[in-house]
Amino acid sequence: MAYDTIITGGEVITADGRKKADVAIKGEKIAAVKKGLASAEKNGATIVDAKGKYVIPGGLDVHVHLELPFCGTVSSDDFNTGTRAAARGGVTTVIDFAIPYGEDSLEDAYRKWREKADPKTCVDYCFHMAITKWDKHGPEMAKLVEMGCPTFKEFMIYESEGWQSDDRAIFSALEKCKELGAMLLMHAESSRVLDELIARHHTPELMKKHGAVLHGITRPNYIEAEAIQRAVKWAEVTGGRLYIVHMSTADGADIIRDAQSRGVDVYAETCAQYLVLDDSLFAGPDGHLFACCPQIKKKSDQQRLWKGLKRGEVCVVSTDTCSFTREQKAMWNGDWTKIPMGMPGLETLLPIVYTHGVLKEKITLRQFVEKCCTNPAKLMGLYPQKGTIEKGSDADIVIIDPKKKLKVDHETMETNTDWSPYQDWKLAGFAEKTFSRGRMIVDDYKFCGENGWGKWLPRKKAGKL
Ligand code: URP
Ligand code: ZN
Ligand code: ZN
C-alpha cells in the first residue's frame, strides 16, 4: 500500500505498553503500526524521523470552556486560540460544555455552540450538554443523544449564573442517563454551606485582611466532599453513570475509591492545576489570578490525587480551561467573590502531567497516555477512533522529545492570556509535532494548522473503562 506519511524509528506509547515501531498514515487514518515500514514500503511517502522520541496518541481535553460567558465577562480563549493552544500542547480533541442561557432549550444551546465552534476550531471537538432547568431539558435528553451528545453536565453551584441543579434534577438526570446509555458529569460543591461561608467572610475588614486568600478559607475540603458523597449516593441508587469533574481534594478521591469498590458506576477526573499548584499562591501579589472553581487546595491533596491516578480511582486529567486576561481578573478590585474564575491550561496539560508525573515517577509513561488520551476517549464514547495508536484509528499523533524542556512564557504561547499560571516553569512534553487526522498541525513546536480544520465528532454512547 502507498502511504502518505511514515513516522519512523520512534517508541510508540499506548495505554497497553510501549514498543519500537513505525506508524504509517493514509489519508486521515492510521494504516499500519509495525517495525520496518519505512524501509519496506516507502513508495513516495513523507518520512518523519522520530528516532529517540515518543510517539503517543493525541491528547483529549474533555473539560474546556472556550468563549464562555461567565462571571460577568467572556473567557478569553475562543475556539480558535484555544484549539491552537491545544494543538501546540499535543491535544487533538477537545470537549466543551454547551450551556443553555435564559429560556434556551438544549437544542438551542447546541446550535449556538456549533455556530461559535465550527468556523474556528483547529482540532476535533464535541460538546457535553449542560442541563440547567430540569423540567425543560430533561425531556430533551434523548434527542440530544440522537444528535451525537451522550454526555450531560449538571452544576450543584452557580445559582447566580442560572446554572444550578438541585437533588431532584441530579437524581432524575442520573435515571435518564441509565435509560439512554448516557453519562452525567457533575460539578460537585455544596452550595448552601459554601454560600454561608462566603456570606460570613464578605466584610470589608476580612477582605482587606485576607484578599484572595478568602478563596481557600471559604472552600474547605468538606464543601467538595459532601457534594461528591451525595452525588455518589444518587448514582448508587439510580444505577446512572456519574463522572465527577475537576476533583480537587484528597477527601473526594477517598470517596470515589470507596464507591468504586462497592460497584458504583462512578468515575473521577482531576485537572492539571490541582496536581501542581496549591493555595499558598493566593497570598502572593498576583494571588487573585489563580482563582478557579473549585479552588486549588493543599499539597496533601496534590499527593492524594497523584496516588489516585497511579491506583486508578482518578482516571482522567483534564484542564477546565477557562482563560481570563489580567484586565478581566482585575474586575475583582479587592472582592474575591468578583474574580472571574478559571485559568488557561490546554497548552500545558500534557507537559505538566509528563514533567511532574512521569519524570518525577508519580505515574508511568503508559499511565500518562492512559489518563490524558485513552481513558478520556473511552469514557466519552470516542474510542478507538481517538485515544490510541492502532490501525483504523484517526491519525491523531503527537511526537514528544523526552528530554527537551521549554520554558513556559505566555508571550510566545498560542493561549490568549497575558499571564500563565506556569510562567517560567521549565516543562518537557510539549508536542514537537502534532498530527490531526493525518495532517501535521504543529511542526518544530509551532502551530501550522488551519482554522476550521477541526471536525465535529458525533458520539453514540458514553463509554466505560
Ligand atoms: O473556574 C472554573 N473552573 N471555571 C469554569 C466553570 C466550571 O465550574 O467549570
Ligand atoms: Zn465546574
Ligand atoms: Zn468547567
pLDDT, tens digit (0-9, with 9 covering 90-100), for 221-265: 999 999 999 999 999 999 999 999 999 999 999 999 999 999 999
Closest residue to atom 9 of ligand 1, CA basis: 320
pLDDT at 38 (0 to 100): 86
Check if the beta carbon of residue 380 is closer than 8 Å to that of residue 151.
yes
Strands, E, within 131-252: which ranges? 151-155, 183-187, 241-244
Contacts of 307 (CB under 8 A, 6+ apart): 253
Distance (angstroms) between ligand 2 centre and the Cα of 365 equals 28
**CATH no. for 5-56+389-404+417-447:** 2.30.40.10
Confidence class for position 350, pLDDT limits 50, 70, 90: very high
Go through 310-324 and write b for each residue having 16 or more CB atoms within 10 A of its CB, e for each that does not.
Answer: beebbbbbbbbbbbb
Tell whether ligand 1 has an atom less than 6 A from the beta carbon of residue 65. yes
Query: Could you state, in order of their start, the residue ranges of all structural domains in the chain?
Result: 5-56+389-404+417-447, 59-379
Atom of ligand 1 nearest to the CA of 291: 1
What separation in angstroms does the CA of 88 have from each of 19, 197, 385, 414? 25, 40, 21, 8
Strand partners, 7: 23, 48
Atom of ligand 1 nearest to the CA of 97: 9
φ/ψ of residue 388, rounded to 5: -155, 170
Confidence class for position 87, pLDDT limits 50, 70, 90: very high
Domain 59-379, second-level architecture? Alpha-Beta Barrel (3.20)
Q: How far apart are CA 19 and CA 10, in angstroms?
A: 9
Name the nearest CA neighbour of 184 among 113, 234, 255, 259.
Answer: 234
Confidence class for position 41, pLDDT limits 50, 70, 90: confident
Q: Which amino acid is at 14?
A: T
Atom of ligand 1 nearest to the CA of 65: 5
Q: Which amino acid is at 347?
A: E
Rounded to 5°, angle at Cα 437 from 434 and 442: 20
Contacts of 166 (CB under 8 A, 6+ apart): none
Q: Where are the alpha helices (DSSP H) in 345-414?
A: 349-353, 365-369, 375-379
Give the three cell numbers for residue 150: 451522550
Q: Which amino acid is at 416?
A: N
Tell whether ligand 1 has an atom less than 6 A from the beta carbon of residue 320. yes
Longest dimension (CA), the chain: 74
pLDDT at 407 (0 to 100): 98
pLDDT at 154 (0 to 100): 99
Give the three cell numbers for residue 158: 452557580
Contacts of 271 (CB under 8 A, 6+ apart): 63, 246, 248, 317, 318, 319, 320, 345
Q: How far apart are CA 303 and CA 250, in angstroms?
A: 8
Tell whether ligand 1 has an atom less than 6 A from the beta carbon of residue 227. no
pLDDT at 177 (0 to 100): 98
pLDDT at 323 (0 to 100): 99
Distance (angstroms) between ligand 3 centre and the Cα of 135 equals 23
pLDDT at 129 over 80: yes
**In the chain, how many H helices and how many E strands?**
17, 23
Confidence class for position 291, pLDDT limits 50, 70, 90: very high
pLDDT at 1 (0 to 100): 78
Residue with cell 477546565: 320
Atom of ligand 1 nearest to the CA of 155: 8
pLDDT at 228 (0 to 100): 99
Strand partners, 8: 49
pLDDT at 42 (0 to 100): 82
Closest residue to atom 7 of ligand 1, CA basis: 293
Tell whether ligand 1 has an atom less than 6 A from the beta carbon of residue 293. yes
Q: Which amino acid is at 184?
A: L
Q: How far apart are CA 237 and CA 212, in angstroms?
A: 39
What is the phi-psi region of residue 257: left when phi exceeds 0, alpha when psi lies from -120 to 50, beta otherwise? alpha
Contacts of 412 (CB under 8 A, 6+ apart): none
What's the mean pLDDT in 332-340?
97
Ligand 1 pocket: which of 65, 245, 277, 321 to mutate (most atoms within 8 A of CB): 65
DSSP track, 64-120: E-SS-EETTEE-S--TTHHHHHHHHTTEEEEEEEE---TT--HHHHHHHHHHHHTTT
As a whole number, the mean pLDDT across the chain is 98
Q: Which tens digit of pLDDT belongs to each residue from 169-209?
A: 999 999 999 999 999 999 999 999 999 999 999 999 999 99
φ/ψ of residue 70, rounded to 5: -165, 140
Q: Which tens digit of pLDDT belongs to each residue from 17-38?
A: 999 999 999 999 999 999 999 8
Tell whether ligand 1 has an atom less than 6 A from the beta carbon of residue 449. no
DSSP state of 347: G
Atom of ligand 1 nearest to the CA of 68: 5
Whole-number percent of the chain with pLDDT over 70: 100
Contacts of 351 (CB under 8 A, 6+ apart): 89, 406, 408, 427, 428, 429, 430
Q: Greater confidence, 39 or 440?
A: 440
pLDDT at 150 (0 to 100): 98
**Least confident span in 42-46, 88-92, 99-103, 387-391:** 42-46
pLDDT at 43 over 90: no
pTM of the model: 0.98
Distance (angstroms) between ligand 1 centre and the Cα of 19 equals 38
Peptide bond into 384 cis (omega under 30): yes
Q: Which tens digit of pLDDT belongs to each residue from 145-179?
A: 999 999 999 999 999 999 999 999 999 999 999 99
